[in-house]
Amino acid sequence: MNETMDKIGTKSDVDENFELFSDLSNMEHEQIVFCSKPEAGLKAIIAIHDTTLGPSLGGLRMWNYSSEQDAIRDVLRLSRGMTYKSAISGLNLGGGKAVIIGDSRKDKSEALFRAFGRFVDGLSGRYITAEDVGISEQDMEWIFTETKYVTGIPKHMGGSGNPSPVTAYGVYMGMKAAAKRAYGNDSLTGKRIGIQGAGSVASHLAGYIAKEKAELYISDIFEEKAEAVAKQTGAKVVKPDDIYTLNLDIFSPCALGGVINDDTLNYLKCDIIAGGANNILDDEEKHGDLLIQKGILYAPDYVINAGGIINIASEMEGYNEKQAMEKTGRIYDTVLNIFDYAEKHNIPTITASNILAEQRIKAVANVGTVYSSKSHFSGRKGEVYLRDRS
């Protein structure tokens, strides 16, 4: 027996040799799926974090990652964030995410997205996909050709369409809640606000902010996109690196995650961080603490950008745009409750949000120990939607 164990190695050796499984265990993921269809140019990863509250749902992102490791790290962090996002928003959905490795400006094709749809369909509803960075309604329509486990399809096909406008509204409401806490009122008039990114969410967010006559700045790695938003909103365009050094009241990251890190924290001059990007903090624990030390109020990203998934959840039940916007508006109160909890317990706002989300997941999981004489919940959100569309 000892000889056998010597050949196998210790537990730490096994963890070291199986790094991916170690990552899955550490972040408490249930499943990760690698999808390959070379003929269609598909290299994709689907991560399912937690299905305690319901089927995992999360957007599909297309990005030209520099390595497989970067893509894996991104999809694991994003899927975990979706679990917390659904939980804190009161939705009966779990957390999942998918990424396609490629350049969304030149690598798209019908075959690629239909192939991805086949892989999603093979998961039989454990993962429901949606639109995210680099993905359009047309792409979702191609996926829908192959699977019913897809949301955010065009309105003329019975879906809710692009969720970005609703996501932006939630970020806007979260930003106003943060202003209420920091300044005593939620008006953005005259505030110096910098938006990082000029994609769909950022452009709609800029529109909301412009109506309040804030002093708006915007940056993007694609300058023409920033110029287009500036033209519509009167914002001033700044270079990507300069957005970190501006004297701002509110900094709003709306591009990729990890932008609040050891380097950028040295340059930030703002009172509030409230943005639509996912995983804004490179290290939640470390940088959450550092933000407190710097006196910067952080509105947790997955809380204020939850409008998109709230919109999709509404689609599952029979889409009602007015209802979706009303539910998204409640993000304002959710953020204030998180601020109160963080202050009461003297912890970072991201930690407070995580605790509150985990409390709901645990409470619902405990309910599942009660025998109900059924093997599944036929009325669970998503199942009626999927049955009607089959």
Catalytic residues: 97
Query: Dihedral of CA 128/132/134/140: which sign?
Result: positive
Half-sphere exposure of 285 (CA within 13 A, CB side): 0
DSSP 96-136: EEEEEES-TTTS--HHHHHHHHHHHHHTTTSEEEEE-TT--
Neighbours of 239 (CB within 10 A): 12
Q: What's the rounded Cα separation, in Å, for the pair 268 and 31?
A: 37
Query: Which H or E run contains 340?
Result: helix 331-345
**Greatest pairwise CA separation for the chain in angstroms:** 74
Q: Are 205 and 230 in contact (CB under 8 A)?
A: no
Q: 206, 229 in Cβ contact below 8 A?
A: yes
Contact partners, residue 114, CB within 8 Å, separation at least 6: 40, 142, 143, 145, 146
Question: How many angstroms separate the CA atoms of 167 and 133, rounded?
Answer: 13
How remote is the C-alpha of 85 from its chain's centroid? 7
Per the document, the length of the chain is 390
- Provide the 3-class DSSP secondary structure of residue 312: helix
**Residue 181 DSSP symbol:** H
Tell the burial category of 65 from Cβ atoms under 10 Å away from its Cβ (0-12, 13-18, 19+). buried
Locus of tokens 């019913």: 148
CB 271 within 8 A of CB 182: yes
